[in-house]
Chain A
Amino acid sequence: MKELMTGNVAIARGAFESGVTVGAGYPGTPSTEILENFCRYQGIYAEWAPNEKVALEVGIGAAMAGARVLVTMKHVGVNVAADPLLTAAYTGVNGGLVLVSADDPGMHSSQNEQDNRNYARFARIPVLEPADSAEARDMVGLALDISEEFDIPVILRTTTRVAHSQGFVEIKERVERSLKDYQKDTRKWLMVPAFGRMRRQSLGERLTRLLDYSEKTPVNFVLEGSPEVGVITSGISFQYVRETLPGASVLKLGMTYPLPAELIKRFAAGVKRLFVVEELEPHIEEFVRLLGLPVAGREFFPETGELSVAVLKRGFMAAGIIPEEKAVPVQSFDDMPAVPVRPPVLCAGCPHRGVFYTLHKLKLVVTGDIGCYTLGGLAPLEGMDSCVCMGASIGMSHGIDKASPELRGRTVAVIGDSTFLHSGITGLIDVIYNNGNTTVMILDNSTTAMTGHQEHPSTGKTLMGAAAPRVDLEGLVRALGVTRVSTVDPLDLSQLTEAIKAEVAASGPSVIIARKPCALLKREAKPPVTVDREACTGCKTCLKLSCPAISVNEKLCSVDPVSCIGCGLCTQVCKFGALVAEGGEAGA
């Protein structure tokens, strides 16, 4: 039976069919749905770890214990997990371990577009790149076989278009596998320098064997075509190549580290002009150049953003491979009215909104973090100055405090609950230990909203749906040594404003926990806000909230009764009492 599946669903399926019993990861687009689907199968264990480093360590432990393991994360998650990853290459595995790195060329939902094939080369571990859902499913099993045969973790690198596109996958049965025996072997697992040196040696030997394997693996294959043009490609780019140049010879590389030098040389020898088409970094291309082969790539195809058939056509036209007249006629719509952008916004009723409205009003410097709340940095809320990576808000705020007398006492770090547990805690310890003055706001909406509402260690539930102890955020930060800890309702503007003013003015570290569940999670049945047409002056102050339910037309505010959930925030900013909460003032 064949089923239409996204790459992510297919990877979960592949892991199940190949006998994986342990899955671990941290959410991150475009990887999240892998574990969300995997956890629904019988006979497996799956978990969200607090961050990617822990997820990989759980995976390494499970592999050491003899299980087949799936670890998932987005590309930047691998940065967090890089420490265990680079040494796991030395230790190797017992049961097979596949690490899915979901890259995001074009940055659909990421802060950068790093190419994680670099990690394969850096860690010296194999990387497989599927081009569609069927390959994604197959390559999970293959990666596990390689992992066990060569005693090494394997990266399965997807990209957004593979992870989130659906294609047909033929469903197979699960092959059960018994745990491999664990035998104490400190020379393999205890990476002190003396043993580390031995394992480094062993890694070299394993790689030599892998090199040989990559020359023969069926996932590196040639599609015979015209000898005029040969294209080496991998991942989703393969699809664009097939569609753009149906007749060309193609060397499709499913395994892009280590690369098969002999296969590439043979392929190059059979074609007149050789191209490499790959998204992001010239990973394959540089290797081909090092082999001394004349090759073209970067001069015709960009090294940033996604490729597409259109991009390839332009490149191959410039290279003289496709005649210019083959260009698809695109109608021009020069006289089209300007199309306003439709950026994502905080939802109507989102508890984060009040925080950024207030921070902006108080003119504070706000080091931000990553989550839905990053949208609070955009106009008109503009309540955030920076966003670098998960957890960065607290350390950066502390750095500002130590560097600038002028900004000291005017700076606030803002971080979500999931992000705080991911990598904010160590930053806060730094503030406390080094006698800092930072004010940290933890926006606790009881979920990991950004990536689609995953559980985390303070939601009281696990990925598999079991009840779990909740991390008590107030208790945790007190235990770390913060004495000024307060909890506020982010939809109560006066309470929130007072708390922020007081904590920013106070010396020493403080934590404000702004607590209210995500509006999409718990819809409080409150009637929508109504407008008193007599009272409204059309002053547009309410628009500063950037609420998708509020608009002002013809000098009169209106509230969309369908999207408004009656959170009442706008009733607190209207100076004329024109916005009326039917269910009574929220938060007051």
Chain B
Amino acid sequence: MREIDILLVGVGGQGTILASRILAHVGQAAGYDIKVSEIHGMAQRGGSVVTQVRMGEKVYSPLIEEGRADVILAFEKLEALRWLSYLKPGGSLLVNDQAIYPVPVLAGLAQYPQDITGYLKAKVKDTVVLDALGTARECGNARAANVVLVGLLARRLPFAEDNWQEALAARVPARFLDVNRKAFAAGYGIG
């Protein structure tokens, strides 16, 4: 059983929590020890949010060390850049091609970097950039963007597709399940 460290980063309100729940569900079904860590409080008010998911035979620290994440799943581009140093050499960087401007940028006090995805691709071989929002919309609901990203992530993890389907059924409210299954499949298909 190999250790798997996954960092989910984004902006408050982007649905990182549901994504981490689905992930933890799959890990539990596969018999992993799991720790999930997130910071509540101030972060809800439009700040950066990060959820750390660690799986393995036995997990001690709930926190992923810098340079050790197997995968970074970024719900927003700038957050991918912010957390880049947490990725291990050879790790996977999965990025939603969405920009959410922080207030200092909106206020003209700071610059939102140009061509973030270009930079990320140049630095990390396994960088996948996708328009999760657009993909989710095509599936029927923009709010399923988080599950599109989970689908993309699933390809890189050692769990069977059935387990993911079962986790979706367990964690997603029934009336949104169809849309989310489509969203998952779309993300999974991108590879």
Please give the residue numbers on chain A whose beta carbons come within 8 Å of chain B beta carbons, in ascending order. Answer: 4, 29-30, 33, 108-109, 132, 160-161, 164-168, 236, 239-240, 242-243, 308-310, 328-331, 333, 336-347, 372, 375, 379-380, 450-452, 540, 543, 546, 548, 550-552
Given the known interface contacts A308-B65, A309-B65, A548-B46, the answer about A345 and B103 at a Cβ–Cβ threshold of 8 Å is yes
Contacts of A551 on B, CB cut-off 8 Å? 101, 105-106
- 3 nearest A-B residue pairs (beta carbon): A109-B41, A340-B110, A337-B113
The 0/1 profile, CB within 8 Å of A marked 1, for residues 10-43 of chain B is 0110000000000010001000011111111111
Contacts of A339 on B, CB cut-off 8 Å? 78, 81-82, 113
User: Do B60 and A240 touch (CB < 8 A)?
Assistant: yes
What's the minimum C-beta distance from A532 to chain B, rounded to whole angstroms?
Answer: 20
Please give the residue numbers on chain B whose beta carbons come within 8 Å of chain A beta carbons, in ascending order. Answer: 11-12, 24, 28, 33-48, 59-63, 65-68, 78-79, 81-82, 84-85, 87, 89, 101-114, 116, 119, 123
Contacts of A450 on B, CB cut-off 8 Å? 41-42
29 intermolecular pairs with C-beta atoms under 8 Å apart: A30-B40, A109-B39, A165-B36, A166-B37, A167-B59, A308-B61, A308-B63, A328-B67, A330-B85, A331-B85, A339-B113, A340-B102, A340-B112, A341-B110, A342-B102, A343-B47, A344-B12, A344-B42, A344-B44, A345-B103, A346-B45, A347-B45, A375-B45, A450-B42, A451-B41, A452-B44, A548-B103, A550-B106, A552-B106
Given the known interface contacts A160-B39, A337-B81, the answer about A328 and B34 at a Cβ–Cβ threshold of 8 Å is no
Given the known interface contacts A30-B41, A108-B41, A309-B65, the answer about A336 and B60 at a Cβ–Cβ threshold of 8 Å is no
What's the minimum C-beta distance from B60 to chain A, rounded to whole angstroms?
Answer: 4
User: Do A328 and B65 touch (CB < 8 A)?
Assistant: yes
What's the minimum C-beta distance from B25 to chain A, rounded to whole angstroms?
Answer: 8
User: Do A344 and B46 touch (CB < 8 A)?
Assistant: yes
User: Do A338 and B113 touch (CB < 8 A)?
Assistant: yes
The chain A residue with its CB closest to the CB of B52 is A165
Set B41, B68, B106: member contacting A543, Cβ < 8 A: B106
User: Do B62 and A167 touch (CB < 8 A)?
Assistant: yes
**SS of A interface (majority):** loop
Given the known interface contacts A331-B85, A380-B107, the answer about A336 and B119 at a Cβ–Cβ threshold of 8 Å is yes
User: Do A328 and B104 touch (CB < 8 A)?
Assistant: no
User: Do B63 and A546 touch (CB < 8 A)?
Assistant: no
What's the minimum C-beta distance from B190 to chain A, rounded to whole angstroms?
Answer: 25
Between B40, B47, B85, B104, the greatest number of chain A beta carbons within 10 A of the residue's beta carbon is seen for B40
Set B37, B43, B44, B101: member contacting A161, Cβ < 8 A: B37
User: Do A548 and B62 touch (CB < 8 A)?
Assistant: no
User: Do A342 and B47 touch (CB < 8 A)?
Assistant: yes
User: Do B108 and A546 touch (CB < 8 A)?
Assistant: no
Given the known interface contacts A328-B65, A543-B108, the answer about A164 and B40 at a Cβ–Cβ threshold of 8 Å is yes
Whole-angstrom CA separation of A550 from B106 in the bound complex: 7
What's the minimum C-beta distance from A62 to chain B, rounded to whole angstroms?
Answer: 28
User: Do B61 and A330 touch (CB < 8 A)?
Assistant: no
Contacts of A167 on B, CB cut-off 8 Å? 34-35, 59, 62
The chain A residue with its CB closest to the CB of B62 is A165
Whole-angstrom CA separation of A347 from B44 in the bound complex: 10
User: Do A168 and B65 touch (CB < 8 A)?
Assistant: no
Given contacts A331-B89, A340-B78, 10 further A-B contacts (CB under 8 A): A30-B40, A30-B41, A168-B33, A308-B61, A336-B84, A340-B110, A340-B113, A344-B46, A450-B41, A552-B108
User: Do B66 and A336 touch (CB < 8 A)?
Assistant: no
User: Do A165 and B78 touch (CB < 8 A)?
Assistant: no
Contacts of A164 on B, CB cut-off 8 Å? 37-40
Whole-angstrom CA separation of A168 from B62 in the bound complex: 12
Contacts of A344 on B, CB cut-off 8 Å? 12, 42-47
What's the minimum C-beta distance from B41 to chain A, rounded to whole angstroms?
Answer: 3
Whole-angstrom CA separation of A380 from B87 in the bound complex: 34
Whole-angstrom CA separation of A165 from B37 in the bound complex: 4
Contacts of B43 on A, CB cut-off 8 Å? 109, 344
User: Do B103 and A343 touch (CB < 8 A)?
Assistant: yes
Contacts of B81 on A, CB cut-off 8 Å? 336-337, 339
Contacts of A240 on B, CB cut-off 8 Å? 60-61
What's the minimum C-beta distance from B103 to chain A, rounded to whole angstroms?
Answer: 5
Between A108, A239, A345, the greatest number of chain B beta carbons within 10 A of the residue's beta carbon is seen for A345
Whole-angstrom CA separation of A343 from B24 in the bound complex: 28
User: Do A342 and B62 touch (CB < 8 A)?
Assistant: no
Contacts of B34 on A, CB cut-off 8 Å? 4, 166-168
What's the minimum C-beta distance from A307 to chain B, rounded to whole angstroms?
Answer: 10
User: Do A166 and B42 touch (CB < 8 A)?
Assistant: no
Contacts of A338 on B, CB cut-off 8 Å? 110-111, 113
What's the minimum C-beta distance from B142 to chain A, rounded to whole angstroms?
Answer: 9
The chain A residue with its CB closest to the CB of B105 is A340
What's the minimum C-beta distance from A32 to chain B, rounded to whole angstroms?
Answer: 8
Contacts of A30 on B, CB cut-off 8 Å? 40-41
Set A33, A372, A540: member contacting B45, Cβ < 8 A: A372
Set A29, A329, A331: member contacting B41, Cβ < 8 A: A29
What's the minimum C-beta distance from A25 to chain B, rounded to whole angstroms?
Answer: 16
Set B59, B66, B78, B103: member contacting A310, Cβ < 8 A: B66
Whole-angstrom CA separation of A341 from B105 in the bound complex: 9
Contacts of A166 on B, CB cut-off 8 Å? 24, 34-37, 62
Whole-angstrom CA separation of A164 from B60 in the bound complex: 15
Contacts of B39 on A, CB cut-off 8 Å? 108-109, 160, 164
User: Do B78 and A342 touch (CB < 8 A)?
Assistant: yes
Contacts of A308 on B, CB cut-off 8 Å? 61, 63, 65
Set B38, B45, B116: member contacting A345, Cβ < 8 A: B45
What's the minimum C-beta distance from B119 to chain A, rounded to whole angstroms?
Answer: 7
The chain B residue with its CB closest to the CB of A549 is B106
Contacts of B111 on A, CB cut-off 8 Å? 338, 340
Contacts of B123 on A, CB cut-off 8 Å? 331, 333
The chain A residue with its CB closest to the CB of B76 is A342
User: Do B62 and A29 touch (CB < 8 A)?
Assistant: no
Contacts of B33 on A, CB cut-off 8 Å? 168
Set B12, B62, B68, B78: member contacting A328, Cβ < 8 A: B68
Whole-angstrom CA separation of A476 from B129 in the bound complex: 57
Whole-angstrom CA separation of A309 from B60 in the bound complex: 10
Contacts of B85 on A, CB cut-off 8 Å? 330-331, 333
Between A33, A109, A330, A550, the greatest number of chain B beta carbons within 10 A of the residue's beta carbon is seen for A330
Whole-angstrom CA separation of A562 from B57 in the bound complex: 43
Set B61, B67, B107, B114: member contacting A239, Cβ < 8 A: B61
Given the known interface contacts A308-B63, A345-B45, A372-B45, the answer about A29 and B89 at a Cβ–Cβ threshold of 8 Å is no
User: Do B108 and A161 touch (CB < 8 A)?
Assistant: no
Contacts of A342 on B, CB cut-off 8 Å? 11, 46-48, 78-79, 82, 102-103
